Structure 1
Amino acid sequence: MTDAGPTPIAPKRLSAFISHHSSQVDTARRLKQLLATHGIDGWLAPDDIAAGTAFDQAILDQIGRSDAIILLLCTQSDQSRHVKRELMLGEDSNKQILPVRLEDIQAQGLAYWLKDYQWIDWFAGEEQAAGRIVAAMTPGTTPAVSTVKVAEPAPVGKRNRLWVALAGGAALVGLLGGGIWWQTRGPAASDPGAAVADNPIEPGIWTSKREVVEILFPEMAPEFVAQFKQVLETDPDPEDCITPAVAAKPDVLLFDPGHEAKCTIGAFKMNGGRISGYLNCKPAGNDPKGNLQITVRGTYTRTSMEFDNVVTMQSSQGMVRFRSHETQKWLRGPACGA
């Protein structure tokens, strides 16, 4: 006999059902890993369904046990009957619904169920999105937000078509106008979302102009907004070469003539007068949290391109997210490169 008292009961771990389309299973697994670091158990099919167990019953049982339903929304899941059923079951069970956009799209097939919910954007940063999910599931906590500094532009060599870079050292935002080149995996030939037209634009010299439309985060004093816009909109060399090969079959080199950094591009489309894509980059440097993500949506003709972009830049010092608009116009040919 001892007087140590009863053994304390460990608090129940929170759990989340991760609803996703099969094409996004890798993203679902990544989210599950991030949630685990915050003490939340993620569950997804088919990974967590025991052998010999009926899929429908396992999903039904898990939704009943989960504290929240995390919906990974993309073009495919928006039209998925299975995802819709999972969402309906979650609402019928009065579960917390957390929609996470994997792409910069608006819900269409699931719009009825999602119109009243606050979005969480995965493309704004994986850890940022996971932090918002954790905060939503654990009332009283908020994701950590650091202060932001705007750095002075550094000298630039050749201008980059996507015009984005992160400053080194402690500054979060370095400059837009050069410095990051994209190195990516090109879209797979078997991917229907990678449709790219043949010969859509003219090769030669193109010029561009950009405008910061809105700073989405953080809230800045007017003087800092002006400084931020000046840094991002100043381009010392607004002309670029688009080679015949890229003009004939555009790929990531349309945005990156240099092709020198470790980045990826996904869901790239350029067909029927419309262009879209999603880029993620881990900039060179010593900052382990340095990350750059851009969604690109726009239109094009043979001699012009217009882009509406959502840009998220992260570092150990914090995050900046903004919308921008860029226009590109063909100036002259013929070919300016190999």
Structure 2
Amino acid sequence: MRKSVMKIYVAGHRGMVGSAIVRRLEEMGAGEIVTRTHAQLDLVDQRAVANFFEEERPDVVYLAAAKVGGIHANNTYPAEFIYQNMMMEANIIHQAYLHGVRKLLFLGSSCIYPKLAEQPMAESALLTGVLEATNEPYALAKIAGIKLCESYNRQYGVDYRSVMPTNLYGMNDNFHPENSHVIPAMLRRFHEAKLAGAAEVVVWGTGTPMREFLHVDDMAAASVHVMNLDRDIYSQHTEPMLSHINVGTGLDCTIRELAETMAEVVGFAGALVFDSSKPDGTPRKLMDVSRLADLGWRAQISLREGLAETYAWFLSNQDNYRD
């Protein structure tokens, strides 16, 4: 017999997104939150995951665990990115079904969409074109996660949902100089340049590509919102084979504008130099978030506000950030 208090398992609770979801759930007093570190539970290990679900019997699962990284990491470790992510997703989703979990939320990534998808990218763009080559293994793993949820819904009648975030940033991000995403990498570079009294900071590319960024606390709020929607309402805004929901701000900025804002937030007074010999990547990546807006949620944290909060956290946790 289940306890009267809902038991919620957050997979990946020490990561940027998972930790934000835990904070959100705790603020709401949502129920008993169950977590495991990687040392306690290897999510790639099928038997270990099965034993965990048998022991804990969660009611709800947030699947935020993933192996993540920037372009360099994706290019260097493609086998690890596809294998580890697919194994984690398959193990958790299958064991959730076997152990009676009726509601699960899978967190994906905007990289699931084709490299040349029409902008802004709507959910219907999935599987309509070629993926970006640099992160194709990771993207394929995330697409597999979406299709796992859809397939279990169709065959077993469970309620497994998927959300696809745009570029995320915030506390507990990875600030590694090579393996991190654009905002943490840029923040660290500007911070170190300020400390060194550097005359300039070099930014890759022309500065013209446009990107969308979402603070991780907004992502957590959106995730809980989508999870808590009535099943009929959620179904009215999705389709059986197109059941994922984009999560973003619906606004983007150029890399130049991002760098200029970052310099102001960090307090770097030197020059910005754009190295046009370096690749720009995709000209624009913006999410169509109209489906989520119709479901009653919009982002609340502005980019400048979010960058300031992230920098304040970075300054308070320099001894702990990953390098």
**Bin for the TM-score computed over the shorter chain:** 0.3 to 0.5
TM-score, normalised with respect to structure 2 = 0.37
Higher strand share: 1
Higher helix share: 2
TM-score, normalised with respect to structure 1 = 0.36
* Higher-Rg member (1/2): 1
Name the structure, 1 or 2, with higher relative contact order (CA <8 Å, separation 6+): 2
